[in-house]
Amino acid sequence: MLIDGDVIKDIQPEIDVSDDTEILDASEYVITPGFIQTHVHLCQSLYRNCADDLLLLDWLRKRIWPYEASLTPDDLRLAAQLGLSELLLSGTTTIMDMGTVKHMDVVFEELVRSGIRAYCGKTMMDFGEMPPELFEDMDTALNSSQELLQRWHNAENGRIRYAFAPRFAVSCTEELLKQTKKLADEHGVIFHTHASENQGELALVRERFGRRNISYLNRIGVTGENICLAHCIWLDEEEKDILRSEKMHVLHCPGSNLKLGSGIAPIPEYLEKGINVSLGADGAPCNNNLDIFNEMRLAALIQKPIHGPQAMDAETVFRMATIEGARALGLAKDTGS
C-alpha cells in the first residue's frame, strides 16, 4: 500500500518505490478503512451511566436536557475530548456529531485538534417544554447555525464540515424544519435529525401533525439525499417507500435502542429495499460506550432471533460501519473502502 501525504495512492502485490520512501511493516496487522459513526453526541460524554433505566422522553426531559443546559464551555470541552479519545482509540476515524445549543465553537476546536474527520452542527430546538437555556426562537437558531457554518465548514482542508441539526419533530416548529432544509440545500450540506425512535415520540408527532414522522417530513418537503435520520425504528410501509424513493439515509444505533427500550429497527428489510444504513453509538448516556465494535456486534445479533442466523452477516455489518457510512456523508469516493 503506497501512501503519499494523506492519500492512499496504490494497492498492489508489489510496488516499486524510491530509496527514500519510508517503509512500515504491517505484516502482523489487518489494514481496514477507518470506521465511520454517523450519529454521536460528543456533548453528552460526561453523563455516561447517569441516565439509566428510562424511556426516551423521560430520559431527555429528566436527565439529558437539564444536563446539556448546565454545560459550561469548559465542561463541553472536556466532554468533547473524552468522547473523541474513546472514538479514536476504538478505530473510528469519521463521525457525524449532533451538538448542543450553546458554546459549540468549543466542540469544533476540539474536532480540529483531534485529527478526526467530522461533520457537526449545533442542535436547534424552538418548540416544547425544555430548560430555558436550550430554547431558541427560530431566527436565533438559524442565524447562529449559519454563523457556525461560516466559521467551521470545510475547515482543515475539508476535514471538518457543517451539518444542520434540528433535534427532532417533537422540539421543532414546522417552519424551522423547512427553513433548515432550505439552508442545507443552498449550502450543499447535510440535514441531520432524529426520527421515529420511540413509540411515545411517535404518538406526540401524530397528535400534533396528524401524521407519522417520515410522512410528516415528506409533506413539508424535508426529504432528499442530504437527509440523515437517526433510528427509524417505527415506520410503516409508506414511510419505508419514502426513504427508498427519496434516497434518505438511516443512522442505526442498536446499543442506544436497546438501552432505552425503544425497539429494534427492521434493518434487514431496509437493506433489501436498497435503503442506505450506517452505524452510530449515539450518546454515551444512552449507550454507556462509543465503541464501533460493540455497535457492529449488536447490529448483527439483535436481528438473528427475528430473521435467522444468516441475517446481518459479518460483511454486511462491516460495510455499514465503513462504506455505507461514507455514502451517507457523501464521502464514498474518498474513504470507507
Residues 328/128, Cβ–Cβ less than 8 Å: no
User: What gap in Å lies between CA 54 and CA 160, rounded to an integer?
Assistant: 34
Among the listed ranges 2-6, 72-76, 87-91, 150-154, which one has the minimum average pLDDT value?
A: 2-6
pLDDT recorded at residue 138: 98
**pLDDT score, position 45:** 98
Question: Lowest-confidence range among 5-14, 235-244, 247-256?
Answer: 5-14
Q: How many CB atoms lie within 10 A of CB 334?
A: 13
Is residue 7 over pLDDT 90?
Answer: no
Number of Cβ within 10 Å of residue 49's Cβ equals 8
Q: Which of 8-12, 40-44, 141-145, 152-156 has the lowest mean pLDDT?
A: 8-12
Cβ atoms < 10 Å from Cβ of 157: 7
Residue 109: pLDDT band with limits 50, 70, 90: very high
Residue 210 to residue 82: CA distance in whole angstroms: 41
Tens digits of per-residue pLDDT, 39-85?
Answer: 999 999 999 999 999 999 999 999 999 999 999 999 999 999 999 99
pLDDT tens track for 289-328 = 999 999 999 999 999 999 999 999 999 999 999 999 999 9
Q: How confident is the model at residue 133 (pLDDT cuts 50, 70, 90)?
A: very high
What element of type H or E holds 24? none
The pTM for the full model equals: 0.96
- Give the span between the Cα atoms of 238 and 236, in whole angstroms: 6
DSSP-assigned letters across all residues of 79-124: HHHHHHHHHHHTTEEEEEEE--SS-HHHHHHHHHHH--EEEEE-EE
20 CB neighbour count, 10 Å cutoff? 5
* Sequence letter at residue 218: N
- Give strand pairing partners of 97: 40, 120
Query: Looking at residue 6, what is its pLDDT?
Result: 82
Report which DSSP code applies to 128: S
pLDDT at 143: 98
CB atoms within 10 A of CB 19: 4
The residue count of the chain comes to 337
pLDDT in tens, 167-225: 999 999 999 999 999 999 999 999 999 999 999 999 999 999 999 999 999 999 999 99
